[in-house]
Amino acid sequence: MKYKIFNDFQEAKNAKLIREKVFVEEQKFKNEFDDIDDISWHLELYEDNRAIGCARMYTEDKKTYILGRIAVIKEYRGHRYGSMLVNILEEKAKELGAESIVLSAQKRASHFYEKLGYKQVGDIYYDEYCPHIKMIKNIKKSL
């Protein structure tokens, strides 16, 4: 298993293709790309030199990092690649001094994130007619 992390969205060409395929073509989201891409770290995950997953991460305050756009190509789902994406970015966030990680989960995927230690906070809200829930995980190292 190989991966690449970019802090320049222009270099993350495979991430763009995966997000287009999963979120736009498959899930019918219209507003997939935004200004946050320009300030994010972008992760691409490879199996046999084929890009199969991606995710992004950014921060607004250096203590809390926000994960998003976590996607795995359909034929590779169910093999723990999504967990790998989250774990790799959690480690990167720790390196950068994060104390917690927040994400906006599609409600139907919230159990996946709960298994990884995330807790639901707040009420369900809608993003392009899709129910989402905010989730958080404390990753601050104990002394």
What is the pLDDT at residue 141? 65
Phi and psi for 7 in degrees, rounded to 5?
-110, 20
Residues 6 or more apart from 116 whose CB is under 8 A from it? 83, 86, 87, 137
57: amino acid identity, one letter: M
**Residues 20-45, buried b or exposed e (16+ Cβ, 10 A)?**
eebbeeeeeeeebeeeebeebbbbbb
- Residue 1, pLDDT above cutoff 90: no
Beta bridge mates, 119: 136
What is the pLDDT at residue 138? 96
* pLDDT tens figures, 80-135: 999 999 999 999 999 999 999 999 999 999 999 999 999 999 999 999 999 999 99
Q: Report residue 79 CA to chain centroid gap.
A: 16
What is the pLDDT at residue 140? 81
CB 29 within 8 A of CB 128: yes
What is the pLDDT at residue 142? 55
What is the pLDDT at residue 31? 92
* pLDDT, mean over the chain: 96
Phi and psi for 8 in degrees, rounded to 5?
-135, 115
Q: What class does CATH assign to 2-138? A: alpha beta
- Which tokens is 50 given? 């084929």
* pLDDT tens figures, 17-54: 999 999 999 999 999 999 999 999 999 999 999 999 99
Residue written as token pair 């993003």: 127
